[in-house]
């Protein structure tokens, strides 16, 4: 399963985990996923069984307390664990019933290794730790356009192939936030404008807001919030945002020298004409109203003497969101 994005080439991604409804994005046409703009989050059956303290097909020793964002599938046939040992960089625990360890996604630093649990009964679960931001799952190397694969599915496909079972696609779940039932993404890159906007309704509960930033060229990649740099990297970076970061602010992806011009608003110098396309637009201000043209006075800006052409700086923002618990009689998880 790949996450469908909301519009165009990107460099940032928003992950949102919700309960009850979909998130509304302002000013963008949506590519529906699972019937709306969000991916459903569903607990593995063994989580429900464990919570109900019932007997059932419960994998032994899966570390629910340490897992965060996860993806899983259940194969219909039994697994020979010796077939999958070779995919692990490190095996953390191994019995006759299961293996837990870290699996390296191709072409990523070791810190991106995914924890993978495989049980002989057919359970495959890939996850990052609870301390990791959800945005860490984005697989920038596999991304081309239109959708973003994840590192979790990357390693699940590798595990399925090693085990000799078909990979049916993954179901997602966040063990940190059991009330969440939606995962929503948005992304942007600085090749076609460095900003995007999104409307986060106040009726949702937001449990985590996280971002991922990637440099893919010669200059460092930067992430700015209201003109203030909050992250920079010469490779990959990720982290979380506070609640105050997600209210009527403008986020930008920057390569350290120039902005890539937006087709809708190039200035006379060819530099990016910065507009307040707030991620969380102020209802009192028209969406897209120009508030601060970056190159209105080109002689005062760095971009006059530089060619605006920095490419391939990709960033992703991930913002898990949850709605309040459903009231009695409401339809929990309705799209």
Q: What is the pLDDT along the chain (335 residues), one digit of tens a residue?
A: 544 333 333 344 444 443 332 332 332 322 333 444 467 889 998 886 555 444 445 567 889 999 999 999 999 999 999 999 999 999 999 999 999 999 999 999 999 999 999 999 999 999 999 999 988 998 888 876 667 789 999 999 999 999 999 999 999 999 999 888 777 776 666 665 566 665 566 777 777 878 888 877 777 878 777 677 878 888 888 888 776 655 555 666 766 554 433 333 222 222 222 222 223 333 333 322 222 223 233 333 333 333 333 333 344 444 444 444 444 444 333 33
Q: In the sheet where 251-254 sits, what is the strand order?
A: 228-233, 221-225, 251-254
Taking the mean position of all CA atoms in its chain, how far away is CA 279? 16
CA distance 189 to 216: 11
| Residue intervals in the chain for CATH 3.30.310 | 42-174
- In CATH terms, 42-174 corresponds, of 3.30.1370, 3.30.310, 3.30.750, 1.10.10, to 3.30.310
Which H or E element spans position 157? helix 151-163
What is the pLDDT at residue 30?
Answer: 28
* E strands, 190-310, in order: 209-215, 221-225, 228-233, 236-241, 251-254
Taking the mean position of all CA atoms in its chain, how far away is CA 121? 30
One DSSP character per residue, 259-277 reads PPPPTT-B-TTSSB-----
What is the pLDDT at residue 58?
Answer: 57
What is the pLDDT at residue 245?
Answer: 58
What is the pLDDT at residue 197?
Answer: 61
Q: Is 333 helix (H, G, I), strand (E, B) or coil?
A: coil
203 to 199, 200, 245, 264, 322: CA distances (angstroms)? 12, 9, 17, 33, 9
């Amino acid at each position: 399963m790949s996450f469908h994005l909301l519009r165009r080439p990107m460099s940032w991604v928003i992950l949102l985990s919700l309960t009850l409804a979909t998130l509304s994005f302002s000013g963008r046409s949506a590519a529906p996923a699972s019937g709306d703009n969000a991916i459903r989050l569903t607990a593995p059956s063994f989580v429900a069984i464990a919570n109900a303290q019932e007997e059932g097909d419960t994998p032994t020793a899966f570390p629910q307390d340490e897992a965060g964002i996860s993806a899983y599938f259940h194969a219909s046939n039994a697994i020979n664990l010796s077939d999958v040992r070779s995919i692990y960089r490190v095996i953390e625990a191994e019995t006759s019933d299961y293996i837990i360890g870290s699996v390296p996604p191709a072409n990523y630093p070791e810190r991106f290794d995914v924890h993978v649990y495989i049980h002989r009964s057919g359970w495959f679960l890939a996850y990052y730790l609870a301390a990791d931001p959800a945005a860490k799952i984005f697989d920038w190397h596999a991304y081309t356009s239109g959708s973003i694969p994840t590192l979790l599915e990357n390693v699940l496909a590798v595990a399925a192939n090693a085990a000799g079972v078909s990979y049916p696609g993954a179901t997602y779940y966040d063990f940190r936030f059991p009330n969440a039932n939606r995962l929503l993404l948005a992304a942007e890159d600085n090749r076609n404008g460095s900003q995007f906007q999104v409307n986060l309704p106040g009726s949702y509960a937001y449990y985590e807001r996280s971002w991922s930033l990637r440099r893919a060229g010669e200059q460092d990649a930067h992430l700015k919030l209201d003109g203030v740099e909050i992250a920079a990297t010469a490779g990959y970076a990720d982290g979380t945002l506070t609640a105050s970061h997600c209210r009527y602010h403008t986020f930008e992806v920057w390569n350290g020298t120039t902005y890539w011009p937006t087709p809708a608003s190039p200035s006379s110098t060819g530099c990016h004409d910065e507009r307040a396309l707030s991620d969380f637009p102020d209802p009192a201000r028209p969406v897209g109203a120009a508030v601060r043209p970056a190159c209105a006075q080109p002689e005062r800006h760095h971009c006059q003497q530089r060619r605006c052409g920095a490419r391939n700086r990709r960033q992703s923002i991930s913002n898990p969101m949850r709605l309040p618990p459903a009231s009695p009689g409401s339809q929990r998880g309705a799209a």
